[in-house]
Amino acid sequence: MMKENYESRLEDEESTAGIEALSSNKTLYIDQFTATVTLQNKGLAMEEIEENGKKKGVYPRNMKEVFGYFKPSIEIDFINEDGGLVRENLYFKDIKDFDINNGKGNLINNSHFLNNLRTRKENFENLQKKIEKNARLRAILKNQESKNELKELLESLLIELKNAQ
């Protein structure tokens, strides 16, 4: 037997009106992703039309129309490695824009900050693999004195590169 569980912000007499149970292989996720529509103004009708002398709203018929009409977005603050805030607007044009997919989904692709973070992570992973494969470099990193010499060399190269710009 399927358990029916509904959560609603509507008044009790309205909360279950017109609700149909979802089949067990479907998921319904409801949240507010736009500040322009509230329960008070309900703003769901795309336009008002008259049908048989009565005003009737034209409502979105599919997900593309819903995303096109509401244009959901959210302003979010990320914290960078320096502890500073990076404010970014995330826009959602399709249900796939919520997908993370192990760092390869649209949510990360559509965010400049998250995309940059993923690129840096991949670069560090590649560097780690190269260090693990390079026996000579591993030997240098095991000895504290040679490790410090390598660090000084790399820092001086970095300064030289910055000055060359």
Q: What is the pLDDT along the chain (165 residues), one digit of tens a residue?
A: 444 444 444 455 544 555 667 677 777 767 766 666 655 555 566 666 677 777 666 777 788 888 887 788 888 999 999 999 999 999 888 888 888 887 788 889 999 999 999 999 999 999 899 888 999 988 888 889 999 999 999 999 999 998 887
Q: Alpha helix (H) ranges present in the chain?
A: 12-15, 63-70, 106-109, 112-133, 135-142, 144-164
Residue located via tokens 């790399």? 154
CB 30, CB 21: distance < 8 Å:
no
CB 78, CB 113: distance < 8 Å:
yes
pTM: 0.60
Tokens linked to 107: 């949510």
What is the model's pLDDT at position 9? 47
What is the model's pLDDT at position 6? 47
Distance from first CA to last CA of the chain, Å, rounded? 69
Pick the closest to residue 92 from 60, 62, 59, 63 (CA basis): 63
**Sign, CA torsion 133/134/137/139:** positive
